[in-house]
Chains A and B, each alone.
Chain A
Amino acid sequence: MSTSYVLRNEYRILRPVTIEDAEFIVKVRNQPHAKGCINDTSLDVEKQREWIREYLKRENEYYWIIETLDGRSIGTSSLYHYDPDKQQLESGRWVLIADAPEGNFFADRVQMRDFVFNILGIKRLVFDVVSTNKQVLKFHRMCGAIETNLQKDALVIQNKSVDMVWFEETPESWASVRPKICRWAGISTDVPYGTVDKITV
């Protein structure tokens, strides 16, 4: 049993992953557009179930299914690698199905950063992006993420060595860009944006 959260806004619901989501996770992570941009994932659903069982025992780690408001699973998102000394979390496993209905990525970003910095009290959010994933790199840069490092040959994905671009965000850096992102999202600047429900999973 561990603590998790359900995040809701007017476009999306993030609800904690369950063992029943294993098949969806295998499917979403093995889509053609996702391969090469995220770590390789086995097609073995039972292995995925086992991984989720282990994940559910961990504290301070969060893995969500992204759903539309009518409950359709359209992707995943996660926070992990909690470092209590640095009050740091890593963000990742952000994958959407190819035909995900249009949402509001800016609003989703505001909600996730508000959750991380205002509710969890994290002081440093880090994440990496495959260096060839230009649109995602551009998205993070325009949202004010600070580029910290280019990690050469960081991973082998699809039998190819890939470089990763590392980013970080802090409560201060987020506060400085938040009004702009809220404007782009077309949402109010109230803090926090959206609703958060704490649950036990």
Chain B
Amino acid sequence: MDINTFIDNFAGQLDVTPADQIKPETKFRDLEEWSSLIALSIIAMVDEEYGVTLKGADIKSATTVQDLYDTVKGKKAVGT
């Protein structure tokens, strides 16, 4: 997996924010449209695209898109 594809997938869960505004360093909770429903979309996307189950706590402990990517990559590496 690579960060650019992950960013595309992440941006695909947003309705308003232009995709090119999403960077590894983006603090996703600061996005104006961020909501608990988008967090659920991220959990579903990660499950379907990467076969990894994120928990609410994983999203809560992440600050940036890069943090989330690292969490997914880490979980994928250990097969969880």
Contacts and interface: CB of A to CB of B under 8 A. Distances in A.
Contacts of A184: 40, 43-44, 47, 53
A161 interface: no
A135 B37 contact: yes
Contact of B47 (A102, A105, A180): A180
B63 interface: no
Contacts of B55: 186
A54 to B, nearest CB: 32
A138 B55 CA distance: 19
A49 B2 CA distance: 56
A183 B52 CA distance: 10
Contacts of A183: 47, 53
A180 B41 CA distance: 13
Interface in A129-186: 134-136, 138-139, 142, 180, 183-184, 186
A104 interface: yes
Q: What range describes how many residues of A lie at the interface?
A: 10 to 19
A106 interface: yes
Interface string B43-68: 11001000001011000100000000
A142 B46 CA distance: 12
B21 interface: no
Given A105-B36, A184-B53, A134 B15 contact: yes
Q: What range describes how many residues of B lie at the interface?
A: 10 to 19
A13 B10 CA distance: 32
Nearest to A107: B56
A102 B60 CA distance: 10
A102 B34 CA distance: 13
Contacts of A142: 40-41, 44
A104 B55 CA distance: 10
Interface of B: 13, 15, 35-38, 40-41, 43-44, 47, 53, 55-56, 60
19 contacts: A102-B36, A102-B56, A105-B36, A105-B40, A106-B40, A106-B43, A135-B37, A135-B41, A136-B37, A138-B13, A138-B15, A138-B41, A139-B40, A142-B40, A142-B41, A142-B44, A184-B44, A184-B47, A186-B56
